[in-house]
Structures are given as C-alpha cells and as structure tokens.
Amino acid sequence: MTQNAKSFLVIRRDNIGDLVCTTPLLRALREHFPDALICTLVNSYNAPVLANNSDVNEIYAYTKAKHRQNGTSLARLYWERLKLFWALRRRRFDYVLLAGQSQGTRLMRLAKFIAPHQILIQPETANGHEVERVFRMLTPLGIDTPPPLLRIVPDVVRAAALRQHLFPQGTPTPLIGLHISARKPSQRWPTEHFVELAQNIHRLYGASFLLFWSPGNEANPQHPGDDEKAQQIMHALASLPIQACPTQQLEELIAGLSLCDSVICSDGGAMHLAAGLGKPILCFFGKSDRARWHPWGVPYQLLQPPSLEVTDISVAEALEGFKKL
C-alpha cells in the first residue's frame, strides 16, 4: 500500500447470502482503489465466503454466541470480541462502510467506536436487488457504475480433492447440484418432488447429481439438519448416478458447488454461493422478495407460487423451468 492509499473496513455481520451480495462492492473498491487497504469485519459463520478473494487484504471475524463451540464461555467470547474491536480502532481506517441494515443503533455505535475518518451507510431510500442497495454506498466515493458480478473463489486444493473422492473416473456431465435444505419452512420443497424431478432430468438429459444438505437431525432446535430427508432421496434414487455431499463446513459446500454445471435449490445462502460461482440456477422462492434476492448475474429460472409456499410448486413446473436453463 502506498503512503497516500486509502483504507476501508466493510462491515457485514449477517447471513451468508447477504455477504455474497456484498462482493460486487468489494470488487468495485479494488478496481477504483487498487492500492487501498480493504478489510472486512464478518462473523465466523460467513467468513469463508471471502476466503481466497483477492479483493480483500484482511478478514476480521468474531464468533456469535449462537455459533460458539467446544464449551467456550460467553465471557471469553465477549472478551475476544472486545479485543478485536480495539484492534480495529487502532487501524485508523479512512472509511467504515456499514453494509446492509446499517441504521441499527448497535452497528452505528461500533462504527463510531472504530473511529474512522468517515462512515458510509446504505441510503434509506435504497431499493432494487440487495447487490444494488449495498452498492449505492459507494456513490460518495465517486463510484457510480453498474455493480459487477458476485465473486466466490473456491479452494482449488479442496475442490480437487473432493472431485477425486467423488469421481475418481472423471467428473460426469451434466452434473446437477441438488441442495435440499432451507432455513425457512416456506422454502422447503418436498422430498418426493426432488426424487421425481431428478428422475425426469436424468431421463431427458442423462444427468448425474450431487446431493447437498445441512447435516444433522431435523429435531435439533438450534441447528436442524436434513439427514433423514437426504437418506430418503438417496434410497429412492439408488439406480441413478448420484453422490451424497453433506457439508459440515461452508468451505465444503463452496467446493462441491464449484463442481456442478447447474444448481437446483431454494432461496438461501447456497443459491447465492452458486451464483457467485457462475452457475445457472433453478430456484424455489416462498416468502422471499424475489426482486431483492433473486440470483445475481447468472442465468436463472425462479419459481414462486401465489401461496408463497414452495410446497405448491409442482414437479412439472420445476422440470419446465429446468428445461429453460
């Protein structure tokens, strides 16, 4: 970094998809300020979104209380967080950018504590896609271009190892990713629908499949998983070329999605990761704002029934959407 180069701290501490939708902002900052110090403050859960991203110099991450592991005490968690915030204050950033819901009192207090020369927030009148809403924060910096594409960079070593493990004889094509998990109940497509859709796609295109899901028991109140649903699908599709790819870590999901030719999923973090990897997407939307959260910058077919319940999307509709990809 040259002596007069600027320094930026971009804060985005919420969900995976939200951080993915902030990567065009980071790309534009790097393009307009190639010598700048660009740092991010994220959480330990979404931090892998930015791994291997050359637009970012340093990634600062803290652990949310709900994500703590190995018996870490709350006192230690908050002490580590406080030390991190003091370290950021000592960096004396030129700009702090509050991405997303930046008007929150707690987030603004944090930005003021870090004490940059200037705090940039998302305009209150921002509308359109989440990428566009966040990107408008750059207007005071003289950046008024259309937002670039999302950017997710898989770990090439991890992706190669996964490819060799799953497909030692070579990766089949077309390879379709099926991601069956969704945080919101309104976004969950039935197991039998996934089975029937995969059977039809294989019959028409000779496709192979990678099955992704959040591991765990659905009865777990904190981190419900879809092990039972995945097991049912794998059993029903035993005669098809399908490989199971449970993802304990976000890095594993990114590596797995990178192997696919296209992805079928509900609205959520996996959908935005797939878009960041440049994958065509068939996506199911329930109680989601399609104008704000549709896949950015890639071919996609979005299905959203009038009931806003994904269960009401038929297999025939999904198959027709896939054909259009």
**313 and 173, same domain (yes or no):** yes
Q: Which of 141, 176, 191 is the last residue of a domain?
A: 141
Tell me what pLDDT residue 269 has: 95
- Residue from 274, 275, 271, 296 nearest 284 by CA: 271
Q: Is residue 147 part of a domain?
A: no
Q: Is residue 188 part of a domain?
A: yes
**99 and 226, same domain (yes or no):** no
**107 and 79, same domain (yes or no):** yes
Residue 81 has pLDDT above 90, yes or no: no
Q: Is residue 189 part of a domain?
A: yes
Q: Which domain holds residue 300?
A: 156-324
Strand 118-121 to 281-284 pairing: unpaired
The beta strands (E) that lie in the chain are given as: 7-11, 37-43, 58-62, 95-98, 118-121, 175-179, 208-213, 242-246, 262-266, 281-284, 300-303
Under the banding of pLDDT at 50, 70 and 90, the label for residue 293 is: very high
Tokens encoding 308 = 């806003």
Residue 185 has pLDDT above 80, yes or no: yes
Q: Is residue 190 part of a domain?
A: yes
**185 and 260, same domain (yes or no):** yes
CB atoms within 10 A of CB 274: 31
Here the CATH number for the domain that contains residue 269 is: 3.40.50.2000
Residue 1 has pLDDT above 60, yes or no: no
Reported as a single tens digit per residue, the pLDDT across 111-136 is 999 999 999 998 877 689 999 999 99
Q: Is residue 74 part of a domain?
A: yes
**116 and 161, same domain (yes or no):** no
pTM score, two decimals?
0.93
Tell me what pLDDT residue 65 has: 55
Under the banding of pLDDT at 50, 70 and 90, the label for residue 267 is: very high
Tell me what pLDDT residue 294 has: 97
- Residue from 222, 186, 172, 126 nearest 312 by CA: 186
Among 67-71, 129-133, 148-152, 183-187, which is the least confidently predicted range?
A: 67-71
Q: Which of 91, 111, 141 is the last residue of a domain?
A: 141
**How many separate domains does the chain show?**
2
**315 and 210, same domain (yes or no):** yes
**122 and 199, same domain (yes or no):** no
Q: Is residue 27 part of a domain?
A: yes
